[in-house]
Structure formats: C-alpha cells, structure tokens
Structure 1
Amino acid sequence: MSPRGVTIPDVRERLFAAAERVLEREGPGALTSRAITGEAGCAKGLLHAHFDGLDEFVAELVLDRFARVARHAEELRGRAGQGTVAENLLGTALALLSSAGPTVAGLALTRPAASLRIREALEGGAPGFDTVQDAITDYLDAERHGGRIAQGADTAAAALALVGTLHHLLMTGGHDRQNERERAGHLVALLEAGLRRGPYDIG
C-alpha cells in the first residue's frame, strides 16, 4: 500500500490498468473505487484525489484507451511500403481490440454520466473511432500512391468497413478474444484482396 504523501509514478495508468483487470475478471458491476484502488494496491482515497468521482474516472479510462489506439493508427502511414497491407491493417485492428477491448468500450454504456462526458470529449476533438478511420484512409492512400493497391481502390470505404466492424465487435463482443481476432483477420484479408483488385476488376 502506498503511504500518505508519497507520489506514485504514473498513478493514472496504474489505476486504469487495475480497473481493466477488475473489469476482465468480474465485469462492470464490480467496478467501484474501492475495488480499483485495492487492485492497484494503493490508498483507498487515491482515485478521488485524481478524479472527480467514478464517472469521470470511467470516462478518462475510455478516452485514454481510444487515444492510445489512435496514436497506433497514426503511425500506420510510416509503414506504407513495408510488410504487407494486410499485416499493417491487422496490427491496427488488434491494437483496437486489445487496448479498447469490449469490457472497456462497453463500460460507459452502464454509466450515463460517463457516456455523456465521453461524447462531449469526442465532439470536442478527442481522438476516437473517426481519428482511427482517417488514419487508416491516409495509410491506404499512401499504399495506393506506392502502387501496392489498385489506383481505383476506395480507401475511405475500406477504412469505414474495418473501423465499423471493429466498433461492432467492441460493443457486442464478450470474452472470446480469439474469435474476435479471427473475425478481424478474415475481414482484413477480404479488404486487402478487394483493394488489390480495385472496383472494376471482377475477373
């Protein structure tokens, strides 16, 4: 346990990670301030010392995980021409499924006040699914420019299809992570094949 007055490095991330473990193990109903700080091994009042209650904590957790995936997606453009298109897309898909997994992404649905905070933050420009979608489109545009996908490929539609499917998996998924990864992999393979052919190649 952390003594009073002693600064804990990266306290936000420590609490966020603890909350994720509680969610994974026991579900949203078990997520309380006491459960989080107990899991984190720190003083019971630490969460309220850094957040204005559990709703703000939940909102910040969800937004932090979305921002983490957005940063990963924004690094995609630098991978244009490296590896394979399918590998690069799948890497981003798996990052979203793991960093903003179903237990985290669906958490705000159980707390209306947190959901409102998240929506307001996203409308104010915080990174979310739109940021990831734009980053994937930019990456695919770079791959099209480099000749690795067809010139007529609809990159925006492909990015929307991928992000929309991932959003569905996050909002409706359970704890079968392997099944979610496999479904994402199948979609990426289909998208990559279509991007290589382009919209006019039906042969």
Structure 2
Amino acid sequence: MPTGHALQDARGVLLDAGRDVLATHGAAALTSRSMTEKSGVAKGVLHRHFEDFDAYVAALVADEAVRIQAIEPRVADSAAAATTDVIEQTFTSTMLGLVSLVIGRASVRRRVGDGSPGIPLLGDATTAVADVLAAGREVGWIREDADVPVLALALAGSAYLLSAGASSALPDHEAVREVVESILAASL
C-alpha cells in the first residue's frame, strides 16, 4: 500500500528546501536529513531524483550559476552603484554556502567544474561583475583603458572576503559600496 502523496515537482521541492537550509542555517546544516525534513519528503525521494547527495549539491550549484548569470543591475546611475547592486544580488547566504560546499567537497567540484581555473560560482560572480563594468565602460562611466577583467576579479574577490565566514548577516550596503568605490576610483 503506498504511503504519502505524489509531488508535482519533487526535484524542485528538494532544491528549494536545500536553498532554504543554506540561507537560514549555512552550509554545515545542509545534510540529506535536514533537506528531506525541510522538504517533508522521504530520503528515498532524494535518491530517486539524484544519484547521491553530492549530485544534489551539484544541482544546487548549477541552479545558482544560472541565477548569477541572469543578474542585471537594478540601479544604473553610476558604475559604483550598478556594481554594488550586482555584488549584493550575487553574494547571498545561499551562494556563499554553496561556495563553501564546492571548496570542501571534491566530488562536488568534479561534478560542477568545467575544466576552467577557479572556483565555480565565484567565477560566475566575477563574470557578472565584469559584465556590469563593461556596460559601464560603454556608457562612459569607466575609462576606456581600464582593465575590466582585473577590476572584476578584485571586486569579486573582495566581495567574497567581506562576506565569507559572516556569522549572521552579510556586510551592509555601505561596506560593499565603500570597497567598490575604492577599487574603481582610478578607473572612473
């Protein structure tokens, strides 16, 4: 006799539960048990949709990469404002938790790595920042001779260092804005 009820989108429910656990409790709290408890499904449902827990984490990373790649600045009155906005949209508790898992779990790294150097998600963040800087150069906010890839790397790395290991909240807007303005100062 069957137990429980059929889920319309079990995979989506499982991924949403993982994002919620990461956002509210951090990477250390993301386990197959916490995720299945949060989603209200049996552990067997997880294994029906994912080969193992690392495949589940890799799916979360892939979804997060798509989210980051779609980020557009909501503020567009200066290079610093647009860049600050993109950084704040990118460096979320979920993203930082996933970066921690990618760094700490070799199996996840192998599954999500595309062979390019760097850490998955941080590379996507650097590309998102480079895109907003390149757009800023096109409208005259950034000097033509500015080295956009180097600026993007410095900004993404700084944003990660500001955010990584935060015990409760991500850095406030003013801290991010100050770092962005300092790094971009010579390129405006």
Task: Note whether the superposition's TM-score is higher than 0.5.
Answer: yes
Counterpart-to-counterpart distance in 2, 1:20 and 1:96:
14
Does structure 2 retain, via aligned residues, the 8 Å contact 1:19–1:31?
yes
Q: Which residue of 1 aligns with 2:186?
A: 194
2:138 is equivalent to residue 145 of structure 1: yes
Q: Secondary structure at the match of 1:18?
A: helix
Q: Secondary structure at the match of 1:179?
A: coil
Deviation at 1:36, TM superposition (A): 0.8
Counterpart-to-counterpart distance in 1, 2:94 and 2:20:
13
Counterpart-to-counterpart distance in 2, 1:148 and 1:174:
32
Q: Which residue of 1 aligns with 2:90?
A: 96
Q: Which residue of 2 aligns with 1:115?
A: 109
Counterpart-to-counterpart distance in 1, 2:94 and 2:21:
15
Deviation at 1:26, TM superposition (A): 4.8
Q: Which residue of 2 aligns with 1:71?
A: 70
Q: Secondary structure at the match of 2:8?
A: coil
Q: Which residue of 2 aligns with 1:45?
A: 44
TM-score normalised by L of structure 2: 0.77
Q: Which residue of 2 aligns with 1:199?
A: none
Q: Secondary structure at the match of 1:55?
A: helix
| Cα RMSD for the two superposed structures | 3.1
Instruction: Return closer, same or farther for 1:66/1:184 CA change in 2, 3 Å cut-off.
Output: farther
TM-score normalised by L of structure 1: 0.72
* % same residue: 30
- Equivalent positions of 1:165-180 (< 5 A) are 165-169=158-162, 172-179=164-171
Counterpart-to-counterpart distance in 2, 1:22 and 1:99:
10
Instruction: Return closer, same or farther for 1:7/1:165 CA change in 2, 3 Å cut-off.
Output: same
Counterpart-to-counterpart distance in 2, 1:14 and 1:162:
34
